A and B are shown apart, each in its own frame.
Chain A
Amino acid sequence: MPPPTCLRCLPIRPAPSPRSVLLCHIALPPAQTASFSATTNLSAAVAKKRPNSHTGPPKRGVKALNIKKTQRIKSGRPPAPGERKALRKRIVLSNTNALEVQGMPDLSDKNVTDASLVCRVVGIPGLVVDSLRAVEAFKPTQGWGLFRRPAALVRKETLQLGRYIREVETAEDKKTIRRVVVGERGTKDLTIGHTEYGPLFNTNPTQYVQKTYTANLLSQISKANKAVLSKLQLFQQHDLPIPIQSNISLDRLADLGARDPDVAYPIFQALWAELTAPSTKGAVRPPILFTLDGINQIMRNSAYLSTDVKSIHAHDLALVRHFINALSGAQALPNGGIVLAATCESGKPPSSALELAVAQSEARMAGAEEVPQPHPYKAMDQRVLDSMRDVEVLRLKGLDKDEARGIMEYYAASGMLRERVDEGLVAEKWTLAGGGVVGELERGSVRMRI
């Protein structure tokens, strides 16, 4: 796999297929000065082969055959610890060689429910990009680094989420919306056994805390929500292992927990208690957006073992328990909020209970009389079924043709797709993407085709 640095050096024009019998229509973007041009290369005359003195066989005695193994160039400096991992996991969000799309609106709280934006691509504002980067919302396998700035396609489901946000903000009775997003392939770290864990005493059943992960989580919360948390202050009394000033702002509280893993969990509990305390005149608390990606990983036994050398169920991990309480409605969010979980399709561990729960939820939503029942002879994880009892499912299918056209026009306007975007091309890419699956559409249109 080529290193991420090579993505910038790649020619924009995709490699021509040897079987291609179709003509490529080059789309000229309206009146823009590109930072590079391929016109001179395309129209250059073929260079003549100049006969030089080296043509013909070598002189007698000259060694022409070199069959030694090619020596690897050993660079002097070995990479520092963590450098390779950083290079592997780094997120590039901008490609200066891509064109800037003129007239692209930005997604804001004002146009989040605007129906005229469906099938259009909107830019993500800079502050939001920083917050998303802090919570690791951008993945290295996604194509953010191919375009000038991060942007997203607005679909009908996007507007639906926008409506949820509006409802939560404007509802008088502090509504909580709990959803699971399910889709085709495109939280792992919590349950695969890669982070330290320890038991929480005086809990029954024993819960386990992952303090390093909690510290990291607090740091992300602080960075992503600095603008909001810096305006909120501590109002309750908390029994914490370290002394803190009584009116500390919540983002500084989170930073304290981020710095020291040993106090991370108590500080997390304190933060959570503050945020879920009902709003009063003096202490206004905003609604909370609580999300989790890869819910398949937590709907089963984790990779951790208890002292009895038995698998610890994922719901016995303290952080996971927090999320599950919020998702299932056991923990109410007094100030309203959205609890959103997303399944993962690639490399997912089997969880028959989750599949059943999703099927049951979809049947209920469709108003079917017969709801799928658990298999009578297979053991089903009852805890998982209980946690998903009243949760609705938002199924993301592939894009439809109009949405696919919208995103392909954005690719063409960015200069990454050099073909004319017409009905035929949209239909072809849509079908090759298995019915408009976004990741496959991007792979087929913009990335290297293999």
Chain B
Amino acid sequence: MKPSVLLRHVNGVSTALKCTHPPCKGRLFRPVASKLFSTTQHQRATESIAASPIDFDSFQSTQLSRDILRKVRVVPASPSYFTGKPDFTDNLLSLQALLRKYQTLPVVQPGHAPRIAWKTHAQYKVSVSEPVKAAKYGKIVQLLHRLNHIHPSLVPEEVLEALQLYKRDVNPYDNVAVLQTVDPYGRARGVGRRKTSTATVWLVEGEGEVLINGKSLSQAFGRIHDRESAIWALKATKRIGRYNVWALVRGGGITGQAEALTLAVAKALMVHEPALKPALRRAGCVTRDPRIVERKKPGKLKARKMPAWVKR
């Protein structure tokens, strides 16, 4: 009799024990009932070939439990134990089984399912602690995508629970911008940022008066270029004499504050007149300029400046 080693995960600890049963060559863990076109769920190895699980806590004495322990055979909880990536394989197979079970349920139109940010490849690898290839993870994402498209009114709890495991802690798509409206006093608020400056602007119908931190435009900015930047949204749409601007600006320098005001005034103007968005985009007022001061790197004196080159 050739002893063969079978492993079973007992309480998370794998134990190797010798077995006295005659070995089954080749088709060890093939479930007996599995056929090519079977609709039955893939049965776990424990259910097909192993004995039923023993509850050690129910025994009266530890000696008795030790005796029993010598006679049992440990088998893995999942056949995927023998793959290189058991948890990944289990996940993939369970999702495929779910899909096979519910593939006849009606689906929404492509792109109309709730927008969810699935875990990134790196985050998934951290959660399973296995070196899963990106393409392999992509297969899981495809399955998630398909399962997500099941009609929301008919989606089973099982599917929702399974999908929850693959969602990020915070769904970034839930962060929807609040639609601003003109308030009862006729004011529209817009916020703009540039470098480290933040500007908040309230735009109201008026004669073209501008107050920035309580000062007039000429007192706030000495350069005409900066004054024009601050009200560029109004200048580009030829509405300088139609609105009054009341602004608060903090942080940064002169040009940073002026450019922050550009964006803020544009946003406030779009609340009053949403149809101006294409014109403001062409004027360059809509995109938030993402440029910031580059950080200093090790080995360099500043972000890019290298120390003096020495021959040796």
Contact = CB atoms under 8 A, between A and B. Distances in A.
Partners in one complex: yes
A430 B244 CA distance: 13
A428 B219 contact: no
B2 to A, nearest CB: 86
B224 interface: yes
B241 A435 contact: no
Interface stretch (B81-89, B176-184, B231-239): B231-239
Contacts of A426: 241
Given A427-B208, A427-B240, A431-B210, A440 B218 contact: yes
A443 B217 CA distance: 14
Interface string A406-431: 00000000000000000110111011
Contacts, number: 55
Given A21-B236, A21-B283, A440-B218, A431 B231 contact: yes
B225 interface: yes
Interface in B226-252: 227-228, 231, 235-236, 238, 240-241
Contacts of B225: 449-450
A428 B218 CA distance: 13
Contact of A431 (B208, B236, B283): B208
Interface string B24-51: 0000000000000000000000000000
B228 A450 contact: no
B218 to A, nearest CB: 3
Nearest to B242: A427
Given A184-B219, A435-B217, A428 B240 contact: yes
A426 B209 CA distance: 13
B224 A449 contact: yes
A434 B217 contact: yes
Interface in B190-236: 207-210, 216-219, 223-225, 227-228, 231, 235-236
Nearest to B218: A434
A433 B218 contact: yes
A403 to B, nearest CB: 14
Nearest to A440: B218
Contacts of B240: 424, 427-428, 431
Interface string A269-298: 000000000000000000000000000000
A438 to B, nearest CB: 11
Nearest to A21: B236
B235 A428 contact: yes
A327 B282 CA distance: 58
A398 to B, nearest CB: 8
Nearest to B210: A431
Contact of B241 (A427, A433, A434, A450): A427
Given A21-B236, A21-B283, A437-B218, A432 B241 contact: no
A186 to B, nearest CB: 10
A424 B240 CA distance: 8
A123 interface: no
A397 to B, nearest CB: 10
A444 interface: yes
A403 B210 CA distance: 19
A430 B208 contact: yes
B279 to A, nearest CB: 10
B217 A431 contact: yes
A430 B240 CA distance: 10
A431 B219 CA distance: 12
Contacts of B224: 432, 443-444, 449-450
A2 to B, nearest CB: 17
A311 to B, nearest CB: 31
Interface in B256-285: 283
A444 B227 CA distance: 11
A440 B220 CA distance: 13
A393 B238 CA distance: 38
Contact of B238 (A424, A431, A432): A424
Nearest to A427: B241
A445 to B, nearest CB: 11
A184 B241 CA distance: 22
Nearest to A345: B219
A192 B216 CA distance: 30
A411 to B, nearest CB: 16
Nearest to B217: A434
Interface string A218-234: 00000000000000000
A179 B236 CA distance: 43
Contact of A432 (B207, B217, B236): B217
B215 to A, nearest CB: 8
B144 to A, nearest CB: 48
A432 B227 contact: yes
B62 to A, nearest CB: 85
Contacts of B241: 423-424, 426-428, 430-431
Nearest to B215: A434
B216 A434 contact: yes
Contacts of B283: 21
Contacts of B223: 450
Interface string A384-400: 00000000000000100
Interface in A7-63: 21
Given A21-B236, A423-B241, A450-B223, A432 B228 contact: yes
A421 to B, nearest CB: 14
Contacts of A427: 208, 240-241
A450 B227 CA distance: 11
Contacts of B208: 427, 430-431
25 contacts: A21-B283, A398-B216, A424-B240, A426-B241, A427-B208, A427-B241, A428-B240, A428-B241, A430-B208, A431-B209, A431-B231, A431-B240, A431-B241, A432-B217, A432-B218, A432-B231, A434-B210, A434-B217, A434-B218, A434-B227, A435-B210, A437-B218, A449-B225, A450-B223, A450-B224
Given A431-B209, A435-B217, A450-B225, 20 more contacts: A184-B219, A423-B241, A424-B240, A427-B240, A427-B241, A431-B210, A431-B240, A432-B217, A432-B228, A432-B231, A434-B216, A434-B217, A434-B227, A435-B210, A435-B218, A440-B218, A443-B224, A449-B224, A449-B225, A450-B223
| 6 closest A-B pairs by CB | A434-B218, A427-B241, A434-B216, A431-B208, A434-B217, A440-B218
Interface of B: 207-210, 216-219, 223-225, 227-228, 231, 235-236, 238, 240-241, 283
Interface of A: 21, 184, 398, 401, 423-424, 426-428, 430-435, 437, 440, 443-444, 449-450
